[in-house]
Structure 1
Amino acid sequence: MKETNNLDWRYSVMPAVFTWLKESESGALEIDLEATKKFASDILKVQGKGGSRMGGLVGSGTLGENSYLSSEQRLSLLKALSEVAKEYNVPLISGAAAETKEELAKIVADLATVGVDTVMVMPPKTTAVPSEEEMYAYYELAEVTARGAGITIMPYNNPDAAGYHALSTDILRRISVLPNVTALKISTIDVSVIETLMLENKDLKVLAGVDTVTVHAGLAGACGGITGVGCIFPKASVTMQEYVVNGEWAKANQISQAMNSISYLDAQPLLMEYLKYAFGIHHNDATGGLRTLGKKLTPEQIEDVRARYILAKERLEVLDLI
Structure 2
Amino acid sequence: MINWQVVMPAVFTWLKESESGALEIDFDITQKQAAAILNTQGKGGSRMGGIVASGTLGENSYLSNEQRISLLKSLSEVAREYNVPLISGAAAETKEELAKIIEGLATVGVDTVMVMPPKTKEVPSDEEMYAYYELAAATAKVAGVTIMPYNNPDAAGYHALSTDLLIRLAALPEVTALKISTIDVSIIETLMLENKDLKILAGVDSVTVYAGLAGACGGITGVGTIFPKASITMQEYVLKGEWAEANKISQAMNSISYLDAQPLLMEYLKFAMGIHHNDTDGGLRTLGKKLTQEQIDDVRARYVLAKERLEVLDLI
Residue correspondences, number? 316
Within the alignment, does 1:207 sit opposite 2:201 as a pair?
A: yes
Shift of 1:133: 1.0
Please say if 1:276 is aligned against 2:270: yes
The 1:113/1:242 distance shift into structure 2, 3 A limit, reads same
Distance 1:128 1:191 in 2: 26
CA displacement, residues 283-321 of structure 1 (integer Å, 9 cap, x when unaligned)? 000110011111111111111000000000000000000
1:91 maps onto 2:75 in alignment = no
Quote how far apart the aligned CAs of 1:8 are.
1.8
Q: Which runs of structure 2 are paired with 1:1-322 in the superposition (5 Å)?
A: 6-9=1-4, 11-161=5-155, 163-322=157-316
User: 1:94, CA displacement in angstroms?
Assistant: 0.3
**Identity over aligned residues, as a percent?**
83
Q: Compute the displacement of 1:163 (Å).
A: 3.2
Normalised by the length of structure 1, the TM-score is 0.97
Alpha-carbon distance in 1 for matches of 2:156, 2:73: 25
CA distance in 1 between counterparts of 2:264 and 2:240 reads 33
Once residues 92 and 223 of structure 1 are traced to their aligned partners in structure 2, the CA distance between those partners, rounded to angstroms, is 18
CA distance in 1, matches of 2:288, 2:154: 18
Supply the distance in 1 between the matched residues of 2:124 and 2:110 (Cα, whole angstroms): 27
CA-CA distance at 1:161 after TM superposition:
3.0
Please report the TM-score for the alignment, with normalisation by the length of structure 2.
Answer: 0.99
Aligned-partner Cα distance in 1 for 2:61–2:217: 27
| Alpha-carbon distance, 1:159 to partner | 2.2
Which 5+ residue runs of structure 2 have no aligned equivalent? none
C-alpha distance in structure 1 between counterparts of 2:283 and 2:122, whole Å: 34
1:79 Cα deviation after fit:
0.3
2:161 & 2:189 partners in 1: Cα distance? 16
- Which one-letter code corresponds to 1:185 in the other structure? K
Gaps of 5+ in 1: 1-5
> Hey, which bits of structure 1, 4+ residues long, moved more than 2 A?
none
Q: Deviations over 1:167-196 (max 9, x none)?
A: 111111111110010100000000001001
